[in-house]
Every structure is written in structure tokens, then in C-alpha cells.
Chain A
Amino acid sequence: MLLGIDVGGTYTDAVVVSGGKVLAQAKAPTTHDDLLHGILDALDRVLAGVDAAGIRRVALSTTIVTNAVVEGRLERAGLLLLPGPGMDISSLVPERPWLLSGYIDHRGRETAPPDEAEVAVACRGLADCEVFAVAGKFAVRNPAHEQAVAAWLRRYAAPAHITLGSAVAGSLNFWRRANSAYYNAATWRHFGRFARAAQAAVAGRGVTAPLYILKADGGTMPLTTAGERPVEAVFTGPAASVLGIMALAAPRGEAVSLDIGGTTTDIALWRDGAPLFAERGAKIGDYPTAVRSFWLRSIGVGGDSFVRREGGRIAVGPERRGPAMALGGPVPTVSDAMIVAGAADFGDKDKAGEAMRLTAADGESVQDTARAVLGAAADAIYAAIENMIDERAAEPVYRVEDAVRDRRPQPAALVGVGGAAEGLAPLVAERLGVCCTVPAGAMVANAVGAAVARPTIEVTLRADTAQGYYTVAELGLRSALPSRRFGLADARELAARHLAERAAAAGIPVADVESVYDEEFNLVRGFSTTGKIIACRLQIKPGVFAVEEGA
């Protein structure tokens, strides 16, 4: 049995999944001042009729890291950058950085060494910091400088934790890695405290299974690994819902999914049963990071969205002023319209009718008003989807073949989950001219997603045969190539070995390895080929343990 817990804005959901079926589900109010309280409440309720000893894994999708960022509960992290020559990003990072000498160029060669004395000075300036982030330009091509600075930090300060930029992400983008490293260090202690408390509390319920944390890219990581990489746990809520959809009704071909909750609708685009990723990484606050995540858009339309007329036209959201009037709320909502239109059946129907009467234009029937409200909500979601598709179509391309074979994505199906999906998803599908699925289990899709999310991990290998070395950024590794005759196939094989190593260290089983990216260039100097630059990234495919349809 797999146990999944999703901490949402209003409710914390818990489900137990086994043999592809949802065996138990429970809800408890989310306790914002102490998330653990609500988590344990939901856990107790879901375990009521279940043998806790039979749980093989507990996976948690939590807003703990996101909240720490949003609420500014970050620990001040000392930020040390080795920017080399280039753009000055000092004013573009969340904390005033210490700039250090030392430069690695684009081929991973040292062109200027780092300076120990500068680090000593920085440590005196950062005497009040206990956590540090170190990021160097092109450190993913050669992490030696970052590692040297970390060693000096240990000599001149007493760091509780150091995050290296090259260890947070293997891809190019110094600015994003610097931001990621900073947030990782700044949330490290807070997350660690929560993780230990969660582990102890779950154990206290007689669950001996290991605890996993969901990542923004839909994978899970064991709590032990997560403690070192908390930044990957930002934005797990929407990732959980996407995985829930993958488990309950993965759409084929090109598709759109909607998670229509109380306040917002999260939109994802899909291709061949997999959701699309944000090309470069997620944004935390105003800062772009290298945290891999699904490509999602959230708009302020949901069941509890405040409905009124503005200049004669119906306006929906983005504000939420409380639950539906049918549930005793103060103002008309989308849910009230759904009840009147017969698309939902809960609460006090008369109150829902009253809500529509308050919204109706002169002489308009409450049914017509309800339909108009749902239409306006569907229009807003539809417009956001079109906007996402346009943006995707405008993604730059770097190869002639891709520029010529240009095509706008065209979704052929729509899947809706979440509390308000029944009422709205079909209307959106109608505007797109595609068929609509709202799977059973849609109400707890997020918790199901957390429960069945498979662990995932990735490695980026880059080989430079002219210089005879390769790096695996995520492992902080730089070593000699086994031979000078080294091609893309060899690179993939070597990367697979390191992926297996990294997975083993993290306690993750290796299955379903996929290549997410590769590149091979001849190095030509003068008029002859002197070597190759090869890059490839392998990952254990994010995905789900199977859940039967109709579970």
C-alpha cells in the first residue's frame, strides 16, 4: 500500500492506494501555522480502517518550502559568487553577494584561480551566517573552484550547510543556479526541522515505511536526500495534481489538463501521455531558478471565485471572498452557478439561487445567469490555454530542421480534476472543440499523485574529447575520459552508470531511464577535426506507479 498526502491551500488530503485502487481517502483542514498538525490529522483519518504496518511508502506533497519563501521565513544565507568576466548579476540575486576572483571558461578551463584570502575576508563579513551558497560561472563544466571555496569556508567559518550551485543543477545558467543555490541554503534548516518532525510523527503512528517528498518535476526523493535539496520541493502542489492526472487518466497525444480548485485553475499541456516541462526552470518569487518543474499556468478562476457584474458584464475572480453562498458564504461564486445550472449538487439550492438573482441582469432568469457565469469562467480558462499554446509555439529554436517544421500545438483532449472540474471542464473542452474526461477520483487527484509518484533523479554528462575529460555536474565529478575515441553512445553508457550510482546513493531504484537531451559537436581547429564536445542528460523518467482507471 502506498500512502499519499497533499497539503493544499484549504484541505490536506490523504489517500491509501493499493493494487491500482484507492482504498481509503480522507480530508482535514490545512493548519497553516503548523502544517504537521493538519498532516497528522489527515493521516489518522485515512489510517482509521487500514493496517499501518502494510504501508510500503509515504509520499508527501507539501507547501512547506513555498510557504517559507512566500512568508519570508528564510534563513539568511551567505552568497559567494565567482562571476568571472561577463554580466554583473550582483543586483539580480536575492541577497547581496560577495564577488570572488577566479574564472572557469566555457570549456571548463581555469583562466584565473580563486583567492583564499578573499574567502577569509568574506567569512568575516558573513560572521552572522551559518548557511552558505557558492556559485561559479561554468562550474557545471568544472566544479573545482566552487569546491575550493567550500573548503575555505569550512576553514574560516563554521558552516552548518553549504550549497554548491553546480550540485543543484547540471545545466548552464549561472544566474539561475545562483538563485537556486541561495534558496536551497536559505530553506535548508527550516525544511530539515519539518522533515525530522514529519518522520518522527509518522513513525509514531506505527508506519515504518520510508517517507518521500514530492519534487516540482513530479518525481519523489527520499527524505534523507530531500534534506540536502529542499529547493526542489517548491511548487509541489501543482506537480501532485499533474501526477494524479497521469495516474487516473493520462491523456494521449496532445492534450490539456485542468486542476480546478477553489481559488485557482492550474493548466498543463501534455504530449504523448507526459506533461511538458518548463524549459529552463521555475521562478521563485521574482527570481528565475534552475529548479526543474512542469510547465504550468495558474489563473484565478475556481469554484469559490467571487462573481459579480462589472459595467454590465459578468466578472469572475481572481478574488475569493469565502465559500459559495450555498455553503453559507457571503458573496455569489462559481459554485453557486454550478448548483443552479445542475452541474453540482451540494449545499443549499435556494441560497445558490439567491446568489444568481443577485448577479442577474434585469429580466434575466437565474438559469440564464448561471449559464452566463459558467461561460465567463470557461472563457477565462480557454483564453489562458490559448495563451499558453501561443507561448509554446513561440519558443525559440536553434536548428534549421525545427524552424522549418514549425507547428502550433493542437490539443485533442482535455482532462479535468479538482473540486469544480465537473461543472467547468466540459465547457472549456467545448470551446477547444475537444472531448473531455473528468476521471473518478478527480477530487483527491493531488493526494493520489503524491502516493504514486515514482522517484526520479538525473545526471548531466559533458565530454570534451579534445581535452580528454568529462564532467557530471550533479556529482561534482570531473575525470579523464576512458578513451579518445568517445562518441555519443559511449557518453550515454557512461552517464547511465553514473545515474545508477547516484540513484543507489539516494536509495532510488533504477527503472525507465530516458535521455532528455543530447548534443554532439565536432571541434574543428584549423581545417581538421580535433575532437568532439558531447553532452547528454539522462533521467529516471518521472511517472507513476499504475493506478487502475475508475479507482
Chain B
Amino acid sequence: MAVKPFGLVFFPAFDWALTPTHPEREERLLYTRDQIVEEGLLDMPGIREYKPRLATLRDADRVHIGVPDIASHITDAHLVSAGGAITAAEAVIKGEVARAFALVRPPGHHAMRVVHGTRGFCTINIEAVMVEHLRRHHGVRRVAIVDTDVHHGDGTQDIFYHDPDTLFISFHQDGRTLYPGSGFTDEAGSPPAIGATINLPLPPGTTDEGLHYVLDNLILPVLEDFRPDIVINSAGQDNHYSDPLANMAITAQGYASLAAKLKADVAVLEGGYSIEDALPYVNTGIILAMAGLDYSRVVEPDIAAAPRGLTGGARAYLRELVAKQTALWRDREPLGNAAAAKAGDFWTRRRGIYYDDSGISEQQVEKLRLCPHCHGYLTVASEAEGHRCGYQSAFAAVVPREPCPTCRQGAKDAVLAAKRQGKYRHYIIQDKENDSLERV
């Protein structure tokens, strides 16, 4: 068989938990381990298992602005999890395997650019750390991330919101009914990157049929059009009908055929908390589908409990949603130009971010310079209050990849000016071009 094998990084972190009874605990991938070991999947000639490497603090600093620093928020488990994602991606980039799945924990897609603590079980964004590692060390440029977790991938969206080279598509249970309460269609990227963020809020109870309608009619055509160097699946498994934290109706077969159609180069596990009834079957189905093997026999024992079909109202809603987001994609250039013209030299956004796991409320002001020559520098002013940190604040500037001299200087000047005013505790310059995180 001349076909390249499928790569699997399996890291269940059997000695790590957020808290003993938290959904994100030691037991979470136990039954998945039992299932894939029992199936003999790890012995299949077409499947190669990799040991996760440890990501470095530098890998994390390339993406995040930790306050006061990233090291004080993370444990070794986060570095292994992000490192596992990097291991999987590198196996693909080096051509050792055709595709790879990092079945790792803890997850990461709710971790935003600025990190004051843990939100949505996430502290660092393992996909983003992986993507920026690939850009830095393997010359990858155009990246597509499809987030199939039931929760909006708000952290990943935040990190790539101004980056036209990263297409981020997230489908999720409607944010009016589920954490983190975001991911609506009007969140579409800042002016230089409008359309590179596409949100698909789905009604609770959406079945395989509804999901595949959105996949076939929007996600796959947009991916085809974007022509990415690499496709990443942020693979949460909590759209499953048995998941205790959400209200969707996707089956293991629905997930497996999604993986087969999406043909992601790298999948990275995110959420999924139906640890006994869903994860063993969904993960087995995805592994088989990604490896190009027959997954048709992977069926949950209680499949009779799965809701079927789609109501007329839901069908009409999905049709409308797909039409709206198709128009966004088609018209992204004029929409971007119009938004830029309206904003002037700087695009500004103020918002509050809540860290549910850490009990922290953050207020943030982002300013993006709309530059005709490069992606523009970004400043973030952040103030956070919460029971663990007391009060924390920071002012940071981000120098983009391939910056123009004006933006490089502008970023530095903005931080120095803020420091002179002395309103914040920490002053940071994250330089994507020189791969450095500097405290001023």
C-alpha cells in the first residue's frame, strides 16, 4: 500500500483536571482510550501514533499576551496539549502522514489573544499556537480553520479577527442559548479581514441533515474558493445528541461523514463532554474517516435515542443563513472597503470578556491601524478584575507579519506613549515579524 498513513497524537492527560468534578477532568478520554485500544486502531498498518512534544513558552508568546505573563496561567498539561497539536501538524507538513488528528486535552478554542485566566476550560489556544508555529517554522501562509465544536470558537476568532490570511468558519449552537454567547453573523472580521470570519449559529436540536446542509452548501464551497495551504478542524464533539452541556442532535455517523467530506489536514480535539455515550464512538468514527477507512459500522448503542429529521422552520432558517453568509463571502471586498472608509485611520472595538472558569471580568479596547501597506498594527488596552487576580491591567501592541516601517514604529510609539501616561501595570510589544514578546 503506497498510501500515506494517518497520524494520531493521542494524549488523554490521565493525570490532569481543572478540578476533581469538572467536566474537563482525568476521566474525560478514558472511554475513548478504551474504545480505540479495544478496536485495535493503534495497531492498524495505516495509522501511526505519535508522542506529543512539549510546546515552548515562546510558542505560546507568539500568539498570546499573558498578563502578567503566560507562564503564570498554564501548567505543563497546556504545553503538552499544544505540543501535541504541533506534533500532528508537523507530521503532515513533513509528508510523513496524509492527515493527522491531535486527540488531546486540555482544549483551547476559547482562549483569546489576551490571557488573564481560564475561560471555557481553555487557557491557551492550542490551534492558534499550532498555526503560528507552522507559519514561523514551515512557511505556511493561508490557513483555514473550521470549528466544529458546539460552542462558538470565540478565542480563535479573536486571535485571527484582523488576519485576512486566516479563514475562520465556526458553526455552533446559537449563542443566545449557549456559552459563550457569541458567534453571530455580524461578527465577520475587522475591515481588512471581513469575510475571513464566518459564523454559523445553528438552532438547538440541529440534526445531521441540517449540519450537512450547511457543510455542503456553504463551508465546502467557501473552503474551495479560499484555497488555503492547510485546513484545520477545531474538532469539538459536543454537538452530539447525548452531550450534557449542549442541545444539539448530531450522531457519530454525522461527525464521521463530516470529517470525510471536510478532509482537514489536521484535526485538533476541542470540547465534547458526553464522555461515555458519545466520545468513544465519535472519536473512533472521525479517526476512521480521516484515515480513509470504513466507518459505516460505528454506531452508538443507544442510537434509537437520537432525534432525526429537521423541522420546516429550521430548514427555512438554515436556507436563509447559508444565503446570507454566501453573500458575505461573495461581497467581502466591497464590504471591507466600505467598513474601512467608515472607520478612518483606526478601527476601534470596546468589549467586555468574562472568564467563567477564573471569575474574571475584563474590559478591552482594541485599535487596529487600517494600513494600505500591511495588515496594520494593533493595540490592546486591557483591564481585568476578579477574585483571583484582584486588579490587572496591560497595554500591548502587536506588530503584524511583514509590517510596513510606519506600523512597526507606530506600535512601539503607542506602547511608549501609554507607558509615559502610566495608566497600566504592564506594557508589552508582541512582534510577529521578529518573533518576540518584549516587556517595556
Contacts and interface: CB of A to CB of B under 8 A. Distances in A.
Given A87-B298, A137-B38, A173-B43, A398 B288 contact: no
Given A173-B40, A174-B40, A395-B51, A106 B27 contact: no
Given A106-B280, A176-B43, A404-B54, A524 B298 contact: no
Interface size classification for chain A? 35 or more
Interface in A95-128: 103, 105-107, 111-112
B184 interface: no
A533 B276 CA distance: 13
A369 B17 CA distance: 62
A66 B299 CA distance: 38
B77 A400 contact: yes
Interface string B312-331: 00000000000000000000
A105 B31 CA distance: 10
Contacts of B284: 86-87
A87 B40 contact: yes
A84 B303 CA distance: 13
B294 interface: yes
A340 B165 CA distance: 68
Interface string A468-479: 000000000000
Contacts of B30: 521, 533
B356 interface: no
Contacts of B83: 403
B418 to A, nearest CB: 37
Contact of B11 (A107, A398, A523): A398
Nearest to B77: A400
B301 A174 contact: no
Given A398-B11, A400-B80, A103 B38 contact: no
Interface stretch (B18-26, B152-160, B205-213, B396-404): B18-26
Given A87-B297, A174-B40, A524 B14 contact: no
A172 interface: yes
A112 B301 contact: yes
Contacts of A398: 10-14, 33
B49 interface: yes
B339 interface: no
B75 interface: yes
B50 interface: yes
Given A86-B297, A106-B31, A403 B39 contact: no
A521 B25 CA distance: 10
A85 interface: yes
Interface size classification for chain B? 35 or more
A396 B35 contact: no
A88 B295 CA distance: 8
A400 B25 contact: no
A288 B47 CA distance: 14
Contact of A396 (B13, B50, B296, B299): B50
B284 to A, nearest CB: 6
Interface in B27-80: 27, 30-31, 33-35, 37-44, 49-52, 54, 75-77, 80
B51 A524 contact: no
Contacts of B77: 400
B432 to A, nearest CB: 28
A254 B276 CA distance: 40
A483 interface: no
B15 interface: yes
Given A85-B281, A87-B41, A174-B40, A522 B20 contact: yes
Interface of A: 83-89, 92, 103, 105-107, 111-112, 137-138, 172-176, 280, 288, 394-401, 403-404, 406, 519, 521-524, 527-529, 533
Sorted nearest first, the 7 A-B pairs with minimum C-beta distance are A175-B40, A111-B301, A85-B299, A106-B34, A403-B80, A399-B15, A172-B38
28 contacts: A86-B284, A86-B298, A87-B294, A88-B296, A89-B39, A92-B40, A92-B44, A106-B35, A106-B280, A107-B31, A107-B276, A111-B301, A173-B38, A176-B40, A176-B43, A288-B40, A394-B51, A396-B9, A397-B52, A398-B13, A400-B75, A401-B15, A403-B51, A403-B83, A522-B20, A522-B27, A524-B27, A527-B21
Interface of B: 9-16, 20-21, 25-27, 30-31, 33-35, 37-44, 49-52, 54, 75-77, 80, 83, 276, 280-281, 284, 288, 293-294, 296-302
Given A85-B298, A106-B38, 5 more contacts: A106-B280, A173-B38, A174-B39, A396-B11, A524-B20
